[in-house]
Structure 1
């Protein structure tokens, strides 16, 4: 099996991953620009209108385990390209939506499924192509998210003014098709995709069968065990469970600032352009931070877990005070700070998984973390919107977001100790199993030896007969 090259074609994969992040996260972070337009167009409450964004991102994240299984089975190239086609179709059809319910189906659910299929492979491929420079490559790739917010904020503002939201959806549909080209660069390393080991259920027992891609049409292989596609042992890992719980809490409030900052700016009498400017600043900070933290995290003295936890605690605290930022200067400073917090959380996510659980479990673990994040994303922004509807202002939305962000960082504080304990326990268990196997082998050898040296065998071996 070919080792991670830490360069070469890996840099092409990094650029493609960067562009996918730019597209997916650019759409993600700029929903706040569409929010007032959708409120006016569909005439629904703030909570229900926020469903457009939360269902899109929630679907993207919650299908993570399913996407992990598909990547294990069919490879990143096929899965990513299919996702680009599905997302493009969803955005195109959403332009014909007569009401918000139909819009949720096309824009949020179909678009979210497509983005989920496109996004996860680009992160996983970085773990395949890089080992020593994994953090740097991941930092370069995911800084596309910040640049996406930076680029798409003014672009979407222009498109909404020129072509209205329906025309903007059609243009977005066309842009999304570029994901097919980006995914085509995800060339598998030699020895990793030609053959697969598939467990087939047959006659009440599980037989291991080595098969080629050409036999996938077999009815038996269609009924293959799901266990061969996904690492279910992660569900018993305390490290995995605690980190997934942290991500679940974080995502309750993660999108509150980017979704509500433009309307909060309007409440303090700032213009629409100044509200879009805040999202732009968030994107700039996001981009710069990803590169800087990517460089720092590669250093042997850097502790990625401490960086992650500190960022979440600071982000949660400053978000709780967001309602007290009543001018452009204070809101701009907050946008810059929170852009950095967003960058650190998303950049270090795959790095922490690989570091705490092992790179060989990155694909499945990343999917599980995405599932936990998706669950809370589904309800996080709508809850914030409902709180805004009830109170008549956005203060409660920011309090809610800040508290959940802070709690997500707080419960991660003992994660390093738990991971060390779990690894030690696993090592001891493996050692015990190895010793037991060795004892069994020795016992079998003794039996074989006693059989070989019976008197008749002794006579034959010495040529007496």
Structure 2
């Protein structure tokens, strides 16, 4: 199994110190980014009745917000590469706050699409991507653990925001709740203040490869290009690394994730509405999200610890593939759950599965491309993933509208998760096999070149000796 891609940062990450404060800031920022769109589902039924909309129309609110968060990835990457993580996260917190305050005055569902979906979604993009990137600057050996702890922010915030939103709705209505949430979410600015730029003395490069493995070769093939180029593409590459589209492992990751995201968020979005459809009371329905989030909360750091073990870390791509397929199996079994107790069991298993995928989602990407290319990699990945993120929940809502039942939606999401899980497992197996063959061929060529050089030296040495003898 090839080692992970090298991290040519020019310094050794501290793997601790202020890095744990950075993890705390990322914990808060990621928590708001992922939990906020999901927690708003508490208001769906009431907003749907207020604006007289269908399931699919109301699902567009969180869907647009998530899609905008993913679509803003490249912009966020460019800003992070130019200005660093701290100011970008602070700007994002202000944007989400403004969007939520403005949405409290909405008079049509379109206003919610714009204020919550677009403005709030782009604000979350400026929170998510910088938080993920800066962890790779501070951590290397302990990176899976740091990523697992930071990604645990999502379930922790979801378990808090779900009952809080129900309380705010009961006390102030959905308009008053949105106004208050606008102030709460500006705490992202506090998280951004913890993400100070790393100041480590750069090490002098020895000019030699780290280990010469095939995975390094794949990662660096596109990096070995002339230092000076002119043209539009070169100017674009100064801001975001488009050469990643020549990286085979990255392309496999992208294809699997694009399919996966069609069924990734919809089961969470419709968990509480599904419970209400089964005649479960509102607080018990909200409690399902809290149970899901509580299990997810522990699953993420535990997954990070497991992924950091010597046995799992070299095989982390396979671990991620299994996690995706396991999600699909959970969704496919959900329709067989009967009563509230069955939904609780589903929420527990789903929480484990969801936490595993989220803890590994960006760690496996950094494992493929290295920390120095991660900012560009995640930016390009999110823009490609925004289409399934945008369309997934509305399509699922349309299935509910057509069949008047949630079972078909959960079956569909199960298939959309299980198939890419199998695809990733198979393609990663062949990718590692191809890498091993390429490495074997590379070493064979080096041996041939080395033999040819030695033979040439012998010939030159013999020629010199003959010349000396002739002169003598």
TM range (shorter): 0.7 to 0.9
Query: 1:369 offset after TM fit, Å?
Result: 2.1
Structure 1 residue 418, shift from structure 2 partner: 4.4
Counterpart CA distance in 2 for 1:41 and 1:433 is 71
The equivalences for 1:250-329 within 5 A come to 250-302=260-312, 303-329=315-341
Measure, in 1, the Cα distance between the counterparts of 2:308 and 2:411: 34
Identify the residue that residue 73 of structure 1 maps to in structure 2.
Answer: 82
Aligned residues of 1:238 and 1:422 also touching (Cα < 8 A) = no
Match of 1:357 in 2: 369
SS at match of 2:194: coil
Please tell me the root mean square deviation across aligned C-alpha atoms, in Å: 2.8
Q: Residue 195 of structure 2 aligns to a residue in which SS?
A: coil
Corresponding residue of 2:355: 343
- Counterpart pick for 1:236 among 216, 223, 246: 246
Q: Is the 1:282–1:336 contact (alpha carbons within 8 Å) kept by the matching residues of 2?
A: yes
1:109 aligns with 2:121: no
Going from structure 1 to structure 2, the CA distance change for 1:401 and 1:428 (only over 3 Å counts) comes to same
What is residue 218 of structure 2 aligned with on the other side? none
Deviations 1:245-268 (A, max 9, x none): 111111111122211121221222
- Cα distance in 1 for partners of 2:11, 2:248 equals 32
- Could you tell me which of 124, 129, 136 is aligned with 2:138? 129
Give the Cα–Cα distance (whole angstroms) in 1 for the partners of residues 254 and 370 of structure 2.
Answer: 15
Q: Which moved more, 1:223-232 or 1:256-265?
A: 223-232
Answering whether residue 376 of structure 2 is matched by residue 367 of structure 1, we say: no
Q: How do residues 33-432 of structure 1 correspond to structure 2 at under 5 angstroms?
A: 33-190=42-199, 225-302=235-312, 303-420=315-432, 423=435
1:434–1:85 distance in 2 versus 1, CA, 3 Å: farther
What secondary structure sits across from 2:424 in the alignment? coil
Q: Secondary structure at the match of 1:348?
A: helix
Q: Secondary structure at the match of 2:107?
A: coil
CA-to-aligned-CA distance 1:73-114 (integer Å, 9 cap, x gap)? 111112111111111111111111111111101110010000
Q: How many Å apart are 1:404 and its aligned residue?
A: 0.5
How big is the shift at 1:208? 8.2
Q: Give me the whole-angstrom Cα distance separating, in 2, the residues matched to 1:90 and 1:305.
A: 37
TM-score normalised by L of structure 2: 0.82
Distance 2:78 2:435 in 1: 25
1:364 to partner: Cα distance? 1.3
Question: Do 2:94 and 2:123's aligned partners in 1 also have CA atoms closer than 8 Å?
Answer: yes
Of 354-363 and 381-390, more deviation after overlay is shown by 354-363
